[in-house]
Chains A and B, each alone.
Chain A
Amino acid sequence: MGKWTRRAFISAGVVAGGGLIVGVAIRPGNRAAKLSKYVAGDGETLLHTWVKLDSDNVVTAIIPHAEMGQGVGTALAQMLADELDADWDLVKFEEAPALGEFANYPMAQAMLLAGADIPDFVLPTVEGALIRTAHALDLQITGGSLSVRTTGAYGMRIAGAAVKEMLKIAAAEAWQVPVNQVIAENSQLIHKASGRVEPYCAFAESAGQMTPPVSPTLKSVDEFKIMGRHVERHDLPSKVDGTAIFALDVRLPDMLYATVMRAPTFGGGIDSVDELRTRAINGVVDVIQLPSAEVSSVLGGFTYAESVAVVAKGYWSAKQGMDALNIQWRSTENDGVSSDAIFKQFDRDISAGVDRESDIAQGDLVASMENAAQVINADYRVPFLAHTCMEPLNATAMVKDGHCEVWVGCQSPLSFRQSIADALGFDIENVTLHNCFMGGGFGRKSRPDYAIQAAQLAVSLGRPVQLIWTREEDVRQDFYRPAIQSRFRAAIDDSGDLIAWENTYVDKHEPDEAALIPYSVDVQDIGHVRSPTHIPFGAWRSVAHSHHGFFTESFIDEVAVAAGQDPFDYRVARLQHLPRQLAVLTKAAKEAQWHLPLAPGRGRGISLQSSFGSIVAEVVEVTVKDGNLSVDRVVAVIDAGYAVSPDGMKAQIESGIIYGLSAALFGEISIKDGAVVESNFHDYQSVRMSDAPAIETHIINSGADWGGAGEPGTPPIASALTNAIFNATGNRIRQLPIKNVDLQAARESTAAMG
Chain B
Amino acid sequence: MTVITVNGTEQKLQVDPSTPLLWVLREQLALTGTKFGCGMAECGACTVHVNGTAMRSCVTPLSAVSGQKITTIEGLAPSNNELHPLQQAWIEEQVPQCGYCQSGQLMTAAALLATNPSPSDADINIAMAGNICRCGMYSRIRRAIKSAAGVQQFDPAVAELAREINNG
Chain A positions within 8 Å of B, measured between CB atoms, are 67-71, 232-233, 235-246, 248-249, 251, 257, 282-283, 314-317, 319, 388-392, 437-442, 468, 470-471, 598-600, 602, 623, 632, 647, 651, 654-659, 661-662, 680-682, 686-690, 692, 694-695
* Nearest A residue to B130, CB-CB: A688
Which residues of chain A come closer than 8 Å to B132, judged between CB atoms?
390, 681, 686, 688
The residues in B between 51 and 78 inclusive whose CB is less than 8 angstroms from any CB of A are 72-74, 76-77
Sample (24) of A-B pairs whose CB atoms are under 8 Å apart: A69-B135, A232-B91, A236-B94, A240-B102, A241-B33, A241-B76, A242-B32, A242-B34, A242-B72, A251-B30, A315-B23, A316-B19, A389-B100, A390-B100, A390-B133, A391-B100, A602-B165, A654-B139, A655-B137, A658-B136, A659-B136, A680-B40, A681-B37, A682-B42
Given contacts A238-B99, A314-B27, A658-B138, 15 further A-B contacts (CB under 8 A): A240-B83, A241-B83, A241-B87, A242-B34, A242-B72, A245-B32, A251-B32, A314-B19, A316-B19, A390-B45, A390-B133, A391-B35, A392-B37, A439-B100, A689-B125
- Please measure, in the bound complex, the distance between the C-alpha atom of A245 and the C-alpha atom of B99, giving whole angstroms: 10
Contacts of B101 in A (CB 8 A): 390, 439
Q: Which residues of B contact A242 (CB under 8 A)?
A: 31-34, 72-74, 103
Which B positions have Cβ atoms within 8 angstroms of A? 16, 19-20, 23, 27, 30-40, 42-43, 45, 72-74, 76-77, 83, 87, 90-91, 94-103, 106, 124-126, 128-142, 162, 165-168
Contacts of B140 in A (CB 8 A): 651, 654
Q: A244 CA to B165 CA in the complex, in Å?
A: 44
Cα A235 to Cα B95 in complex, Å, equals: 11
Q: B72 near A692 (CB under 8 angstroms)?
A: no
Contact A689 B37 (CB under 8 A): no
| Bound CA–CA A257/B106 (angstroms) | 28
Bound complex: CA of A651 vs CA of B139, how far in Å? 10
CB B11 to nearest CB in A, in angstroms, measures 16
Return B43 CB to nearest CB of chain A, in Å.
5
Residues of B within 8 A of A257 (CB): 27
Q: Closest B residue to A314 by CB, please name it.
A: B27
B38/A439 in contact, CB under 8 A: no
B126 cross-chain contacts in A, Cβ below 8 A: 690
A391 surroundings in chain B (CB, below 8 A)? 35, 37, 98, 100
Q: Say how far B49's CB is from chain A's closest CB, in angstroms.
A: 13
Which of B76, B87, B99 has a CB less than 8 Å from the CB of A69? B99
A392 contact set on B, CB distance < 8 A: 36-37
Contact between chains at A239 and B38 (CB < 8 Å): no
Contact B136 A655 (CB under 8 A): yes
Distance to closest chain A CB from B31 (angstroms): 8
Q: Is the CB of A440 within 8 A of B128?
A: no
| Chain A residue at minimum C-beta to C-beta distance from B42 | A681
Say whether, besides A438-B98, A689-B142, A695-B139, A468 and B36 are in contact (CB < 8 Å).
yes
Min CB distance A46 to B, Å, is 29
Please measure, in the bound complex, the distance between the C-alpha atom of A616 and the C-alpha atom of B19, giving whole angstroms. Answer: 48
Q: How distant is A464 from chain B, measured CB to nearest CB, in Å?
A: 13
List, in ascending order, chain A residues with CB within 8 A of B23's CB. 314-316
How far is it, in angstroms, between the C-alpha of A657 and the C-alpha of B42 when the chains are bound? 22
- CB proximity of B161 to chain A, nearest CB, Å: 10
Contacts of B77 in A (CB 8 A): 241
The answer to whether B98 and A68 touch across the interface, beta carbons within 8 angstroms, is: yes
Report yes or no: B32 in contact with A623, Cβ–Cβ below 8 A.
no
Flag if A598 contacts B166 (CB, 8 Å).
Answer: yes
Q: Are A692 and B134 in contact (CB under 8 A)?
A: no
- Closest chain A residue, CB of each to CB of B28: A314
- Tell me, in angstroms, the Cα distance from A232 to B91 when the chains sit together: 8
Chain B: which residue is nearest A687 at the CB level? B136
B96 adjacent to A687 (CB under 8 Å): no
Can you list the 10 inter-chain pairs with the closest CB atoms, starting with the nearest?
A242-B33, A658-B136, A439-B100, A239-B99, A69-B98, A69-B97, A692-B138, A242-B73, A249-B32, A599-B168
Find the residue from A238, A239, A390, A690 having the highest chain B CB count within 10 A.
Answer: A390
Best-buried of B16, B33, B94 by chain A (most CB within 10 Å): B94
For A315, list chain B residues within 8 Å (CB): 23, 27, 36
- Please report the C-alpha to C-alpha distance between residue A471 and residue B99 in the assembled complex, in whole angstroms: 18
Docked complex Cα distance between A283 and B27 (Å) = 13
Majority SS of interface residues in chain B? loop
State whether B129 touches A680 (Cβ < 8 A): no
A441 to B100 CA separation, bound complex (whole angstroms): 11
**Bound complex: CA A694 to CA B166 (Å):** 16
Q: How far is the CA of A249 from the CA of B32 in the complex (A)?
A: 6
Question: How many Å lie between the Cα of A71 and that of B39 in the bound state?
Answer: 28
A467 to chain B, nearest CB (A): 13
Q: A654-B139, A689-B138, A692-B139 are in contact. Are A239 and B102 (CB under 8 A)?
A: yes
CA of A241 to CA of B131 in the docked complex: distance in angstroms?
A: 17
Tell me whether A470 and B39 are in contact in the complex, defined as CB-CB below 8 angstroms, given that A232-B94, A236-B94 are known contacts.
yes
- CB closest chain-B residue, reference A250: B32
Instruction: Chain A residues near B130: list those with CB within 8 A.
Output: 688
Give the residues in chain B near A437, CB-CB below 8 Å. Answer: 98-100
- Between B74, B90, B132, B137, the greatest number of chain A beta carbons within 10 A of the residue's beta carbon is seen for B132
Contacts of B34 in A (CB 8 A): 242
Complex: how many Å from CA A692 to CA B140? 11
Question: Are A71's CB and B138's CB within 8 A?
Answer: no
Q: Which residue of A lies closest to B18 (CB)?
A: A316
CB-defined contacts of B165 to chain A, threshold 8 Å: 599, 602, 623
Instruction: A340 to B63: give the CA distance in the assembly, Å.
Output: 46
Q: Would you give the shortest CB distance from A223 to chain B, in whole angstroms? A: 26
Contacts of A439 in B (CB 8 A): 35, 98-101
Minimum CB–CB distance from B44 to chain A (whole Å) comes to 9
Instruction: Return chain A residues, CB-CB under 8 Å to B133.
Output: 390, 658
Q: Are A680 and B42 in contact (CB under 8 A)?
A: yes
Distance, CA A317 to CA B28, complexed state (A): 13
Chain B nearest CB: distance from A66 CB in Å?
11
- Which of A235, A314, A468, A657 lies at the interface centre, i.e. has the most chain B CB atoms within 10 A of its CB? A314
B-chain residues with CB within 8 Å of residue A319 when the two chains form the complex: 39
Q: Which residues of B sit under 8 angstroms from A233, Cβ to Cβ?
A: 94, 96
Point out the residues of chain B lying under 8 angstroms from A67, CB to CB.
Answer: 98
Q: Within 8 Å CB of A390, what residues of B?
A: 35, 37, 43, 45, 98, 100-101, 132-135
What's the Cα separation between A647 and B167 when bound, in Å? 33
Query: Once the chains are docked, how many angstroms separate the CA of A692 from the CA of B105?
Result: 15
Minimum distance in angstroms from A656 CB to a CB of chain B: 8
**Interface-central residue, B40, B77, B167, by most chain A CB under 10 Å:** B40
* Given A316-B23, A657-B136, A70 and B97 contact (CB-CB distance below 8 Å): yes
Bound Cα distance A304, B42 (Å): 29
A240, A243, A283, A681: the one contacting B91 at CB < 8 Å is: A240
Decide: A241 near B74, CB < 8 A? Known: A236-B99, A314-B23: yes
Neighbouring B residues of A687 by C-beta, 8 Å: 136, 138
User: Is A243's CB under 8 angstroms from B33's CB?
Assistant: yes
Measured between beta carbons, the chain A residues less than 8 angstroms from B90 are: 236, 240
Complex contacts, B162 vs chain A, CB 8 Å: 632
Q: Is the CB of B19 within 8 A of A248?
A: no
Contact across chains for B33 and A689 when beta carbons are under 8 A apart = no
State A274–B44 Cα separation when bound (angstroms): 34
A207 to B143, CA, bound (A): 46
Contact status B100-A680, CB under 8 Å: no
- Closest CB in chain B relative to A678 CB, distance in Å: 12
Q: What CA separation (Å) do A471 and B136 show in the bound complex? A: 19
In the complex, how many angstroms separate the beta carbon of A279 from the nearest chain B beta carbon?
Answer: 16
Which residues from chain B contact A240 at a C-beta distance below 8 Å? 83, 87, 90-91, 95-96, 99, 102, 106
Residues of A within 8 A of B102 (CB): 239-240
Residue of A with least CB distance to B132: A686
A708 to chain B, nearest CB (A): 15
Contact A236 B91 (CB under 8 A): yes
- Of all chain A residues, the one with the shortest Cβ separation from B62 is A316
Q: Nearest Cβ distance between residue A516 and chain B, in whole angstroms?
A: 27
* B61 to A, closest residue via Cβ: A316
